[in-house]
Structure 1
Amino acid sequence: MLLQHRRIQKEVRDYRDRLEELIAERTAQLADEIEVRKQAHEAVKAERERLRHALDLQETERRLIAYEIHDGLAQQLAGASMQIQALRAMVGNASSETSRAFDTVQRLLEDSLREARGLINGLRPPSLDEYGVEAAIEELISRKGLGQEVQIEFQCELGCGRMAAALENAVFRIVQEGINNARRHSRSDWIRVALSARNGCVRIEIQDRGIGFDPSTVNEGRFGLQGIRERARLFGGQAVVESGPGKGARILVTLPVTPASGG
């Protein structure tokens, strides 16, 4: 009986020792897995920050080029247009041929100035920095020629004040690319853009009622959609594309709200 009791005690000790070894091994494995996941998370975070920094640099370059065009070429064209008008007034009753020449030069200067301003707005709309993303999108939609080709409805219910500059820029670029994508591919005569803020996120919806497409077949074809998804991912958000042949398209983007820094 005593021998049997000792044997049972030994088996219990052996089982306990083995169990402790297994627990120690599993604990070490879990620690390794946690470390690997932590390193992977840090690597993804670092890559995301690197790409966001690259976007910031790109936007800075866009802003500088826009300012250079505004302060250089656009001002020179505006000045030349004023000089032509003054010269025409000095000439007085000019011949019809001279008047036509003045008209031609004036029209060319005005067209060039309009194109220069279009370049400025395309690179970096001044209203984005001065008044925020809502004003910049309104300006984008009301730009001459855009509203004549397609009806664009814009609803904005952000109600969260100014956001961080990088986030406002991301929202603007996503809307800009979404509108461009719909105009190029959807054949729709109507586009709806809606912005709202809820649960700490800004929500962007871009919808058309065009020919539609299969979202699974355009990952490598429509760079605009790729850009929208990538921007959303870089800001910790997500982009969902809903469409089907003959069903129009709907792009829904959610981004965590980052308030503007005080100052």
Structure 2
Amino acid sequence: MSGKTMAMDINCDLGEGMPDDALLMPFLASCNIACGGHFGDRMTMQTAILLAKEHNVNVGAHPSYPDKENFGRKSLNLEFEFLEDSLISQIHDFQEVCLSQNVDFHHIKPHGALYNDLAKDEKLATFFLKLIQKYFQDIPLYCPPNSKIATLAPNYGVKTILEVFADRSYNDNLTLVARSHPKALLTSIEEVEEHLLPMIFEKKIRTISGQLISVEAQTVCVHGDNPSALAILRMIRSNFTS
């Protein structure tokens, strides 16, 4: 497969306290930096942003439900007013660190349970899109294809960049398989390569049941906390880029 070039950029969730950010960054086109909801503070944001700047990697805010205890991976039924205050605070903190380091604020990508809930909950997606429209209208949003939030975004003038995952399994409705499932996170290089092939060259996702479903996507994510993240990125660079 060497010599074939993938049309999607590669992104990664960073600034989450993992030890390999500096090793992963050279393989990326964009990264999503934790901004205090599930992990981090202005200091960790600055460290990750400066590292991205060094490698010419686009940086995005990675806001979450305010839930460091569960790393933002538990759905929370919060009052929208409280959630709005938290999300605005997280993204504004990130924006201010970008400004202080003269780095462009490239995109917003929700994290964990918030990302998954926005994909399927129309009321929550509408709330989030109105927030982006009001406070961050010119910032594109990373979101899953065929999701509620992607479908509704044009109604609010929010630009989307559609994202698929190299190292996560999909259900037949294109939601991500719950992390409690043993096959939710793909760590085998061979499994990830097999998972990526139809995404990149056929614009299709192979679901956990074996179905192939057509998708459009502009970016593919590798999770920074995947123990095989560096090996996966090296494989992608070797096999899918020229």
Q: What TM-score, normalized by structure 2, do the two folds share?
A: 0.24
Greater relative contact order, per chain length (Cα 8 Å cut-off, separation 6+): 2
Q: TM-score, normalised by structure 1?
A: 0.22
